[in-house]
Chains A and B, each alone.
Chain A
Amino acid sequence: MSEQLADLTVGLIGAGNISHLHVSAWKALGARVLVHSEAGAPELAEQYGLELAPSLDGLFKEVEFVDIVTPSPTHKEIALAAIKAGRNVICEKPLTLTAADSHEVIAAASAAGVKVYPAHVVRFFPAYSAAYDALRAGRVGEVAVARFFRQASSPAGAGWYRDVARSGGVIMDLMVHDLDQARWLCGEVLSVYAVQNPPTVDGMSPVNVAAHVTMTHDTGAISHCRATWGATGTKFQSGFTVAGSTGVLKYSTEAGTGYSEELQDSGVGGDLLIPASTLGESPYLTQLRELAVALRGGAEPRVLASDGAIAVYLAEAARESMATGRTIDMTTFDPTGAVA
């Protein structure tokens, strides 16, 4: 592994689903990982050979930087604690649940002289970064109309996801990836219009729900994001179509991974060493390597704290649009409700 990342000690905070992808990446980078979590840390440590940190403060003392993979509503508080301890921060998306909170985190980090990087992993997926490079190279001219979609089996059947105050709902939790993509590929956002069906009632999201968001950009481009928490068992899919003045770029995870199988015994034991990815390196590994290299003084990564804050800001605007039935003007929108 690159010498730039020799002797890395990472403090992982959280032990839920996404932690497995992060841990695998840190192990691939040869990092020593300490883990702290309200639940699940011993099991995770056992599975991957990590060290347990009984307290957050104890973890901060031992590590070079932290990687926050806890439920969304805890991001702000943990990030602020890490910043206070003088530790750089990598934080799962959404950076926080409100843009105001994101700005508070960014200001604290800036005052403490530490860095915060939000983990918007889709920027590291090969298809999306290939599209970004092709657009920057002028392959299809000026972007005119872009569409993004993302669907998954709803996580809202149980736990904290249904509570919009905690998960942010389908837009903040799932579409936030594509809100960031739309901005990355099409430019800064001027306006946001959003609808959702069925609607959120009393702060509780429906289990199965679709949200559609349309945005206008300062480049003249218009974009659409569609996110769906589907029926249980819905296959994860995402994709995009970007139409430019001289061409179109298209991608869907359904367009072919280059691998298909039909096996009679599907219930095979889980300890077979069969690689899952047929595209090569995990985008989580690509992402965490780039962020860690940046924290060690290397090149600036392709995603910054401000990008994370703006993605959250766009999700808030979408919620405001759903609440008011109006298009939100991003040149004046203040999600705190203060008069601009």
Chain B
Amino acid sequence: MTLKVAIASFAHTHAASYVSLLGAMPDVDVLSADPDGASAPDAKPRGAEFAEQHGVAYVDSYDDLFAWGPDAVVVTSENARHRELVERAAAAGAHVLCEKPLATEVADGEAMLAACTDAGVILMVAYPVRFAPSYLRLRASVEAGLLGDVFAVLGTNNGKIPYDQRQWFTDAKLAGGGALVDHTVHCADLIDGLTGGASAKRVYAAANHVLHQDKGVSVETGGLVTITYDNGLLATIDCSWSVPDNGPTWGGVSLQVTGTKGSVEIEPFLPHVGGTDASGEVYLPIGSNFDASMLRTFLHAVRESGPAVAGKTPAVVPQPDGAVGLRTLRIVDAARRSAVSGQPVEL
């Protein structure tokens, strides 16, 4: 059965990856819309021009996109616009893959979960690092007890500032903040997966604006977030946009996990062929495409679940789901408040 998959907005840079991966799948029809693209201050193409460049069918409005009757919708809008599109998809009975973070405000996230639950549609959150083979091995090792009781985690998600391609990432209103919002959630999600959904009890964050002052951005560019979970686990996440603009690759993720019987460190984006070329350092990533694994998991669940039935839980609920999205959003929200007050926030 051919699935109809809609891409709602090209605001997020990941839309390009999803468009090309979905386009290469034989049993998927893709239609896109990016009505807010025209008013975005981005130099890189948006809207119909972006669609043409990436070879994907395009309509001018969300009305036309939803009138098409998609089985599933991939929401890649600005963070603050996730809610309206997810609610609209739920109302149309379409299953949803929502770009991270789930939303900019906890109340929005709660409303999105409620809308999807009521409509009986899948709500999955786009955390692709969950599908990295190194993470799967780490999680299997933790589940098999090889590390004993895990008591501490140090995560990093450092990258270049996503400024050139899409300016909304540094717009406090549309993004919900800066580095704290953009990068805390990936590591928080990986920890969520290791703990089976432990809840954060207390969050402390320190943030600053030292990096990228030359770009005139008002949001925080550096941040350290320390989380104490309800099971006692402690974790700190460095979410800074601290990879220089001329770095050889966009950035990376690391997770160092310490247990009573051992420790494991993963760096899912590390394997590469290196070197130098005319424009500087070469970094050719090797290994599997995490976005592809994530999309396959989502579409498998969409197929298995079939059309949504209001009030009925989908047959397959793919992880990470909306609940993970909401737990990780609560951490970001607490981190944001802590960074302002200078004091830890109890949840």
Q: Point out residues on A near B: beta carbons under 8 Å.
A: 126-127, 130-131, 134, 139-140, 242, 246-251, 255-265, 268, 272-281
Closest residue on chain B to residue A126 by CB atoms: B286
Task: Establish whether residues B140 and A260, one from each chain, have CB atoms under 8 Å apart when the complex forms.
Answer: no
Interface 1/0 per residue, B121-148 and A, CB below 8 Å: 0000000000011101110110010111
Q: Give CA–CA (A134, B136) in the complex, Å.
A: 29
Q: Closest residue of chain A to B261, judged by CB?
A: A264
> Which of B147, B262, B272, B273 lies at the interface centre, i.e. has the most chain A CB atoms within 10 A of its CB?
B273
Contacts of A262 in B (CB 8 A): 262-264
Asked if B266 and A272 sit within 8 Å, CB to CB, the answer is no
- Which chain B residues in 269-320 approach chain A with CB under 8 Å? 269-278, 282, 284-288
Q: Are A263 and B262 neighbours in the complex by a CB distance under 8 Å? A: yes
CB-CB under 8 A for A247 and B275, given A279-B133, A280-B288: yes
Q: Chain B contacts of A263 at CB under 8 A?
A: 141, 146-147, 261-262, 264
Point out the residue from B146, B271, B273 that lies within 8 Å of A257, measured CB to CB: B271
Q: List 12 A-B contacts (CB under 8 A).
A: A130-B284, A247-B276, A257-B271, A258-B287, A259-B265, A259-B266, A265-B146, A268-B144, A272-B140, A274-B141, A274-B144, A275-B136
Q: How many A-B residue pairs have CB under 8 A?
A: 125
How many angstroms from the CA of A247 to the CA of B282 in the assembled complex? Answer: 9
| B263 & A280 in contact (Cβ 8 Å cutoff) | no
Cβ of B279 to closest chain A Cβ, rounded Å: 9
- Most interface-central of A126, A247, A261, A264 (chain B CB within 10 A): A261
Given contacts A247-B282, A278-B134, A279-B288, contact A130 B262 (CB under 8 A): no
State how many angstroms separate the Cβ of A325 from the closest Cβ of chain B.
Answer: 35
Query: Is the Cβ of A249 less than 8 Å from the Cβ of B282?
Result: yes
Question: A residues within 8 A CB of B263?
Answer: 261-262
B137 touches A278 (CB 8 A): yes
A residues less than 8 Å from B265 (CB atoms): 259-261
Query: Do the beta carbons of A257 and B276 come within 8 Å of each other?
Result: no
> Are the CB atoms of B286 and A279 closer together than 8 Å?
yes
Report if A275-B286 is in contact (Cβ < 8 Å); known contacts: A140-B275, A261-B263, A263-B262. no
Residue of A nearest to B289 (CB): A280
In the assembled complex, the Cα of A257 lies from the Cα of B269 at a distance in Å of: 9
- Contact A127/B286 with A246-B278, A260-B264 known, Cβ cut-off 8 Å: yes
- Using Cβ atoms and an 8 Å threshold, which residues of chain B touch A281? 288
B321 within 8 A of A: no
If A248-B282, A257-B270 are given as contacts, then 4 extra A-B residue pairs at C-beta distance below 8 Å, sorted by A number, are A248-B277, A261-B146, A274-B140, A278-B287
Q: Mark B249-271, 1 if CB is under 8 A from A, else 0.
A: 00000000000011111111111
A280 near B133 with CB under 8 A, answer yes
Please give the distance in Å from A86's CB to the nearest CB on chain B. Answer: 32
Q: Given A262-B263, A265-B146, A278-B266: A248 and B275 within 8 A (CB)?
A: yes
A268 partner residues in chain B, CB cutoff 8 A: 144, 146
Whether the Cβ atoms of B286 and A261 lie closer than 8 Å is no
- Expressed in whole angstroms, the minimum distance between the Cβ of A132 and any Cβ of chain B is 10
Asked if A130 and B286 sit within 8 Å, CB to CB, the answer is yes
A21 CB, nearest partner CB in chain B, Å? 17
The 4 closest A-B pairs by CB, nearest first: A280-B288, A247-B277, A263-B262, A126-B286
In the bound assembly, the distance between CA atoms of A276 and B273 in angstroms comes to 21
Q: B residues within 8 A CB of A246?
A: 277-278
Whole-angstrom distance between the alpha carbons of A250 and B273 in the complex?
A: 6
Q: Which of B148, B268, B275, B286 has the most CB of A within 10 A?
A: B275
Chain B residues within 8 Å of A127, by CB: 271, 273, 286
Which of chain B's residues have a CB closer than 8 A to the CB of A256?
A: 267, 270-271
Contact with A along B226-238 (1 / 0, CB 8 A): 0000000000000
The smallest beta-carbon distance between A262 and chain B, in angstroms, is 6
Interface residue ranges of B129-179 to A (CB < 8 Å): 132-134, 136-138, 140-141, 144, 146-148
Q: How far is the CA of A140 from the CA of B261 in the complex (A)?
A: 46
**Cα–Cα, bound, A272→B140 (Å):** 9
Given contacts A272-B140, A274-B141, contact A130 B273 (CB under 8 A): yes
List of B residues within 8 angstroms of A130 by Cβ: 273, 284-286
Complexed CA–CA distance, A278 and B264 (Å): 13
| Whole-angstrom distance between the Cβ of A284 and the nearest chain B Cβ | 15
CB-nearest residue of chain A to B140: A274
Least Cβ distance of A37 to chain B in Å? 31
Nearest-Cβ distance from residue B148 to partner chain A, whole angstroms: 8
Bound-state Cα–Cα, A264 to B282, Å: 37
Question: Closest approach, in angstroms, between the C-beta of B304 and any C-beta of chain A?
Answer: 17
- Residues of chain A lying within 8 A (CB to CB) of residue B140: 272-275
Chain A residue, CB-CB nearest to B287: A279
Residues A250 and B268 in contact, CB atoms below 8 Å apart: no
Q: A139 contacts which of B147, B271, B277, B286 (Cβ < 8 Å)?
A: B277
The CA-CA distance from A277 to B287 in the complex, in Å, is 10
A249 to B248, CA, bound (A): 13
Indicate if the CB atoms of A134 and B273 lie closer than 8 Å. Answer: yes
Q: Point out the residues of chain A lying under 8 angstroms from B133, CB to CB.
A: 275, 277-280
